[in-house]
Amino acid sequence: MRRNVCRVGCSAIFSALAFWAGATSFGIQNLLLPADKEVDPVQATSAGGNGWNYSSGFEPSEGFVPGFIGSNVQPAGCGGPANPCWFAFTGPPASQAEPHIDTSNPHSGMQHLRISSDPQVPPGNIYSGNFIGADFPSAEDIIPQPAGAYLMGLSFSIDHYSGQSFRIQAQAPSQSNFTAAMLFSYGGGIYYLDRCDYHIEWIHWRSWLPRVHNQLRIELDPCNGHLRFFLNGGTGREACEIFGTSIEQVAIVGDNQPGATLDVDDLIVTSEGPCPVLGACCDHNGLQQGCVDGVLEADCIGTDKVWSAQTLCQDVECACLQECTDRQCGGDGCGGNCGSCLDGNLCNGSESCSSNGQCEPGVPLVCDNGQYCDGTETCHPSFGCVGGTPPNCDDGVNCTADTCDEVNDTCVHDNADCAIPTVSEWGLVVLTLALLIAGKAFFGLRKPNTA
């Protein structure tokens, strides 16, 4: 289930939540969330690294001695970011007794932190600010921590119902936010502050029993959108919203109503380091051009890939660059072409572009139609196949019939109309000429009769 993350900008809404409030001030709702909100305890994970880590059993070996935590009962020389102190805040007027280091009910070891009511301080509520609490480290010693995976755990015990309500809170002051807030009401209810469906409410989760040591565990993992609460192991609860993305401070507070006391022991805060920085990975390569949101810089690798710390592609310019290296033709990936394979010569066929961008030669045109009598066809580079010139079969003889023989690929000359006279025909001609000559001679020699 995706969790909302409330970062800088929530301070105006939640500024009052950095202080103690009576249970009724926030309108506690006795709500049980759906079963899918239940989660198993798992160690939160992040990119790793060295973050803020702290653990304390409030033991003498750590430098703690019984007494008011605002006095010199803490490790010698504490103060400053390198060795911060616990800070007591109460009143007004300021308490001189609470919270304090006590020895009567430790969960382990010899000592623990206790918050009791102080009759010298008026009972508290959110309006008057009369509450008693302790936080660590003090405001001036806080080192801003990056968003990342954190674990906060502690044991707590409340001695009886009625009287005070208590609150244990993980905070991120540098973000002006709380990170997780748990409320232990005087009536025995355990609540966590959450915002589901746009409503900020105290969500009822479990119940506490008097004089029982309970183990509270808070897992924060904004890297993957998780804030989880666990009580005494087993199944936990997933919050709807993440307000702060780190744990920089722990606050333990009571409303100073007469009655119950809260004992806290075995406090631990660990960090696995910051969340991995995600950005937009733009691939300018025309063939794979595009942008992907939420990519690690180490995963945005390639000649034309550029990583930006801007998480969303909509915030970066991812221009397309033509990709025509070692390509003769085809698309360049940006809506254009790397080149054309056509050489303008129809006679050598139509060139094509292969899938790897290389020009492939075409199939040359075959213009010969296999017919002899219509001439030899040729190919024109611009027009393709052009008809041939038929063979000239005229033999120059007027009486012959000249044709083209398609079967034998040759010209045929029919001289049927050009016949030569036979021997008998020549003899008749000669005889006729001889008779004519003889007749002329005969009649030319006869003398006319003059008598």
DSSP code per residue over 42-92: -----S------EEE---GGGT--SEETTSS-S-TT--STTS---EEEEES
The pLDDT of residue 226 is 92
What rounded mean pLDDT belongs to the chain?
A: 81
Tokens for 105, please give them. Answer: 């009910």
Are the C-beta atoms of 106 and 112 separated by less than 8 Å? yes
The pLDDT of residue 337 is 87
The pLDDT of residue 55 is 92
Q: What is the largest CA-CA distance in the chain?
A: 210
Q: How far is residue 300 from each of residues 295, 307, 310, measured CA to CA in Å?
A: 7, 6, 13
Supply the DSSP string of 155-177, one letter for each residue: EEEE--SSS--EEEEEEEGGGTE
Tokens for 296, please give them. Answer: 């690690």
CA within 13 Å, CB half, 197:
3
Tell the residue number behind the tokens 């009655």, with chain if given. Answer: 259
Are the C-beta atoms of 366 and 376 separated by less than 8 Å? no
* Pair type for strands 278-283 and 166-172: unpaired
- Walking along the chain (451 residues) 10 residues at a time, the average pLDDT comes out as 37 38 32 37 35 87 91 76 85 87 97 94 70 88 90 96 91 91 94 87 94 96 92 90 92 91 96 85 79 88 84 82 85 84 89 91 90 90 90 87 89 81 66 79 63 54
User: Going from the N-terminus, what domains does the chain have, and what CATH number goes with each?
Assistant: 4-274 (2.60.120.200), 278-315 (no CATH)
Are the C-beta atoms of 90 and 108 separated by less than 8 Å? no
In the three-class reduction of DSSP (H, G, I as helix; E, B as strand; rest coil), residue 266 is classed as strand
Q: What is the rounded CA–CA span in Å between residue 54 and residue 238?
A: 24
The pLDDT of residue 51 is 57
Residue 70, exposed/middle/buried by CB under 10 A (0-12, 13-18, 19+)? Answer: buried
